Amino acid sequence: MAYKISVIIGSLRRGSYARKIAHNVLGLFPEGFEPEIVEIRDLPLYDFDYDDPEVTDKETPAEYTAFREKLKASDGVFFVTAENNRTIPACLKNAIDIGSKPNSDVAWKDLPVGIISHSVGRMGGYSSQKNLRLALSYFGVTSPGQPEVFLGQSPTLLDEDGRFNNEKTRDFVADYVSRFADVVKEHTPRK
């Protein structure tokens, strides 16, 4: 059975570079992996009332349940995110909060995670990635070590079809995806 990987994009913008980078990432997974983009656009804003057993007149949205089930059926999650105001975009924080409840069944718990941040500026979404790691650290996730991937001036790394336009970037990202795949296999050696 193939390893199922949910790929989550931290940007809702139609022309998002994060989405373009994510499409490159899909093609870099080794055999035996099934990466799939999981959309977060339609997740309603997180409201704990939906998960609070004491609030009985607000049903958990179907989108929350589907998202949580998708994460729990995944062997790992791979994030490609932009940076907004030195942290993660709100859509991504919303998705993290939704996956973090209920406490008895946290969808993120112990998952292997991969992270690529990018920015049109030079810093490659450094603060975004660090803030994402901070939020995820609460759930005991595991991820590849050094080197981390911060893609600065991301538009210059992509051709007009959205593909990496140079070997150096492609190889660097491919190495990270390969190390992430190893973390997933180590975490779930049964397959």
Ligand X SMILES: Cc1cc2nc3c(=O)[nH]c(=O)nc-3n(C[C@H](O)[C@H](O)[C@H](O)COP(=O)(O)O)c2cc1C
Residue closer to ligand X by CB (options 84, 169) is 84
Binding mask 66-105 for ligand X (x = CB under 6 A): ----------------xxxxx-------------------
Is 41 near ligand X (CB under 6 A)?
A: no
| Sign of CA pseudo-dihedral 181, 182, 184, 189 | positive
Contacts 24+ apart (CB under 8 A), 48-51: 48/101, 51/101, 51/102
Cβ atoms of residues 95 and 40 within 8 Å: yes
> Closest separation between CB of residue 64 and ligand X, Å?
24
As measured in angstroms, the least distance from the Cβ of 68 to ligand X is 25
Buried b (16+ CB within 10 A) or exposed e, 67-86: bbebbeebbbbbbbbbbbee
**Binding region for ligand X (CB under 6 A) out of 31-39, 49-57, 71-79, 114-122:** 114-122
The answer to whether 118 and 125 have CB atoms below 8 angstroms apart is yes
- 140 touches ligand X (CB under 6 A): no
What tokens appear for 30 in the block?
A: 């080794």
The answer to whether residue 58 forms part of the interface with ligand X (CB under 6 A) is: no
Give, as ranges, the residues between 11 and 30 that touch ligand X (CB under 6 A). 11, 13, 16-18
Binding site for ligand X (CB under 6 A): 11, 13, 16-18, 82-86, 119-121, 123, 125
